Amino acid sequence: MYTRRLGFLILLGLGLFACGDEDFTGLPDAPAFDDDTDDDGIANTVDNCETTANADQANADGDAEGDACDADDDNDTIPDGSDNCPLVANVDQANSDGDGDGDACDGDADGDTVADGSDNCPSVANADQLDTDGDLTGDACDDDDDNDTLLDGADNCRLVANLDQANNDADAEGDSCDADDDNDTVLDSADNCVFTANVDQLNSDTDANGNACDTDDDDDTLLDVDDNCPTDANVDQEDNDADTEGDICDTDDDNDTVLDAADNCVFTANVDQLNSDTDADGNACDDDDDNDTVVDVDDNCVLVANSNQSNLDNDLEGDACDTDDDGDTILDTADNCPQTSNSDQGDEDGDGAGDVCDLFDDTISEVVDGLGLVAAGAAWSGREDLTEKLEAKITITGIPAGATVRKAFLYWTTIGVEFPTVTFDGNQVTGTLIGTADDTCWQIGSNFMYRADVTAFAQINATYTLTNILSTTDRSPDGQGSSLIITFVDPNDTRANFVKLSDGAIGFVGTTGVTSITTSINGFTLAAKPDKVRVVNVVADGQDFPETLTIQNATFGGGDPFSGADGALWDTGSTT
């Protein structure tokens, strides 16, 4: 800064006059004085720019020089030509928005279109004016946006106050602002365990908490740490095999290595899975192993069905499982009378059945290619339906075309009197008495069984008429019925077939205690196991009583195999 000073040099002229110098004329005239050099109407003596017109005398920095002639109008040491605010001192030349005006003189220093006077961050552009904590300093320039005393640079939730800085999954975001606090890819808003990773979201009890964070996953009031089935409700905590898993969630409740789904005794160890009666329960847990309705503790054959509990020798084993049913020291497999004690094994007729039990004699016993048998019967009894029978008809079917009759036998039975002669299809035939049996509860007298060979009169598939038969309507001597049995040879059957016809008489009366008979078949050899076995029974007095027919431990005929199927009191039954 400098001050101009106007100096005047006053020359004092000392005039020397000489007398008689007539040529002296005196001093010359002084030039005229200008007091407004720049001609701006301001006298130089008060003009802050004498040589630069500035009638307004503007002087931003208030020094001696007006702005028009001052090279640094704001007196900030920055020449006006370089100063981004020539009229406002700003030695730092700050210019936030990089435009031509420095912040000191720019009405929108950050160029965000919000005037500095209204801008909560005048030096930082933030047109949205976001101010999370409402402290009048916008987030863009606020070093603690959530006002939780933690500077943003160190705050794991800059926009959510969280002084504790809790961060469950240890990622960059605190729990207060993390959308997935356990980092399991399931957002907290949908996560049933917000702070425990469980991408599967498994929730056994379907409450608000998934298994991963639920202390009682099955909601049975027992905490998981004490629950032997944490995900299956079982307040009783039953544990059959005393392992660490309760029965309800244990796949092997008896710990026998057989999974419950396949185990026939879920709660009783039985790795062998033995199941004699093939029902749902294995022997180890079945109280009736042979399913014969007699519980094992009372059953004399636990593993062999024998509901009648027959025990001929009264030992601890029933006949069905006893290897010596009659207790005569000879095993059943070698005993010719397995149910009748006979240690001497006497067999006078050599038929394989011991003398003491041989009830029937063989009429036929042969193996012939294509051999077959058919049988049918008819009732005679008049006392049952109070109608005297004058004749009876027997129809034979089932003999193949082209077959020839081999043998035909007619059987009949009377009660009360012997009656050996009948008329068969117009031919008088006399039978052989093959056996008698006691009265079958009618109080009439003994039963007499006859057999006659009628091969000479037999035909292929025919109906035969019986006349001259005994039939009465009161409880007096009466006929029972008759059966015709025919064997034949079928030339189209190439099999070697065996037929054995044994006959005699035996009475099954409730008071006699007789429950079974044994017939042995011996004297032939088959090349292979038979493909079919058929048993024919001729039964008189076949009344409707609950009974079973058992052959080789197999039961046939349902509840009453001898119900009188051929008419009152007579049955010609066949079991295959």
Q: Where are the beta strands (DSSP E) in 87-167?
A: none
State the Cα–Cα distance between residues 54 and 41, nearest whole angstrom: 9
Share of the chain above pLDDT 70, in %: 86
pLDDT one-digit tens code per residue, 50-94: 889 888 888 888 888 887 887 877 888 999 788 788 888 888 888
Q: What is the mean pLDDT of the chain?
A: 85
pLDDT reported for residue 526: 54
Going by C-beta distance under 8 Å and a sequence separation of 6 or more, which residues neighbour residue 509?
438, 439, 440, 441
Amino acid at 337: C
Closest by CA position to 63, among listed 147, 8, 2: 2
pLDDT > 80? residue 1: no
Q: Is the pTM of this model over 0.85?
A: no
**Which stretch, 283-292, 320-329, 432-441, has highest mean pLDDT?**
283-292
Tens digit of pLDDT for each residue in 174-231?
999 999 999 999 999 999 999 999 999 999 999 999 999 999 999 999 999 999 999 9
pLDDT tens digits, residue range 437-487? 888 878 898 889 999 999 999 999 999 999 999 999 988 999 999 999 999
pLDDT band at 32 (very low <50, low <70, confident <90, very high): low
pLDDT at 525: 54
pLDDT-based confidence at residue 18 (cuts at 50, 70, 90): very low
9 confidence band (pLDDT: 50, 70, 90): very low
CA distance 399 to 58: 149
Confidence of residue 10 (pLDDT cuts 50, 70, 90): very low
pLDDT digits (tens, 9 = 90+) for 142-172: 898 899 999 989 999 999 999 999 999 999 9
Token output for 281: 């329960």
pLDDT tens digit sequence for 411-434: 999 999 999 999 999 999 999 998
Over residues 311-335, the mean pLDDT reads 91
Please check the confidence at residue 509 and state whether its pLDDT lies above 70: no
- 20 pLDDT higher than 50: no
The CA distance from 171 to 180, in Å, is: 10
pLDDT at 5: 34
Q: What does the DSSP 8-state code read for residue 196?
A: S
CA distances from 524 to 276, 487, 494 (A): 33, 18, 18
pLDDT value for 109: 77
Question: Regarding predicted confidence, which is higher, 11 or 365?
Answer: 365
Contact (CB, 8 A) for 486 and 376: no
Are residues 569 and 541 in contact, defined by beta-carbon separation less than 8 angstroms?
Answer: yes
Rounded Cα distance, 428 and 466, in Å: 10
Q: What are the structure tokens assigned to 260, written together? A: 């419950």
Give the pLDDT score at 11: 34
Q: Which sequence spans correspond to the domains of the chain?
A: 370-575
From start to end of 343-495, where are the E strands?
A: 361-369, 371-379, 391-395, 404-415, 421-424, 427-430, 432-437, 447-453, 463-467, 478-489
Please classify residue 467 by burial: count the beta carbons closer than 10 Å to its beta carbon, then call 0-12 exposed, 13-18 middle and 19+ buried: middle
